Amino acid sequence: MDQLSGVELRHLRYFALVAEAGTVTEAARRLRIAQPSLSQQIRTLERRIGTQLFRRLPQGMELTEAGRLLLDGVNRGLGELSSSISAARAEVPAVTVGVCRGVPQSVLAAAEHAITPDRRQRPAYQRVDSYLQRDLLLGASLAFGILRMPADTSGLRLRTVGNEPLGIVLHGRHSLADRPRLTWSDLHGQRLLWFPSERAPGYAAAVLKRLREHGWTPDTVPDDHGSHTLFRHRLIGDDALVALRTWSSSADDPDLVWRPVGPEPPHERLVLAAAAGTPWARHLAAEPGRTVA
């Protein structure tokens, strides 16, 4: 038989307070309930446990040995329950955020500021390519997404969290590395280390179109591993291979250099997205200095 059957938390709280107060009258006063009702609750607890917990004396209530054993357990249990409740209240719930590859830390910081302005929730990141995020957001598998534009964002609310010009990344001994700024004509004959376009087809098409407009139509070399170690390994030692990245996503590698290119370089625009009409979308309301699409 379940030893707790019929025993309610309020019975145990009342029991502990009567033991502390020494009289039912004083315990009832502290609880702000009628004395007969409290006496009935104590008798109910004794009946359900199956033993006498107090001796009723003229001067008040005295615990029996069974009562002392129960009080020890109740005090421990209530203390642990209180600690558990405090811990549960302090736990910050996670909110799922899809993140496309190559997002710099500055963009993650801007996204977190929008998602958790009061620190009442924490982001739980999942790597998700840009082209997959819309369906996952609309299907509620993700609360937020960070994706590259342009992309199909119908049904989504957006906030721009990053918008930087792309520059040229090359190894430090490359023949173009000593130039502080590059022109499009400098890149003739250079191959482009390029990610698989299907990950962000709108962005890839827009960038390659801009390169063609500037007279550079490079042969592309697939960078399909998603690893920075392999990315840099491909660039180091090859004087005919460069990459396109933003400065903030390329600044921490001492063996690679980033050079601005112009005129009119393509930009990488990253947006924080949520499905319109959801509670998450209110986090994307306009702020000074922010762009809402």
User: What pLDDT score does 292 carry?
Assistant: 37
CATH code assigned to 94-161+269-284: 3.40.190.10
pLDDT tens for each residue of 149-187? 999 999 999 999 999 999 999 999 999 999 999 999 999
Structure confidence at residue 287 as a pLDDT band (50, 70, 90): very low
- H/E run at residue 274: strand 267-275
pLDDT tens for each residue of 12-61? 999 999 999 999 999 999 999 999 999 999 999 999 999 999 999 988 99
Structure confidence at residue 288 as a pLDDT band (50, 70, 90): very low
Distance CA 237, CA 53 (A): 84
List the chain domain ranges: 9-90, 94-161+269-284, 165-266
Establish whether domains 9-90 and 165-266 are of one fold. Answer: no
| CATH of the structural domain 165-266, one choice from 1.10.10.10, 3.90.1150.10, 3.40.190.290, 3.90.105.10 | 3.40.190.290
- Find the radius of gyration of the CA atoms of the chain: 33
- The CATH architecture of the domain made up of 9-90 is Orthogonal Bundle (1.10)
E strand intervals along 28-109? 54-57, 60-63, 94-99
* Higher pLDDT pick, 249 / 92: 249
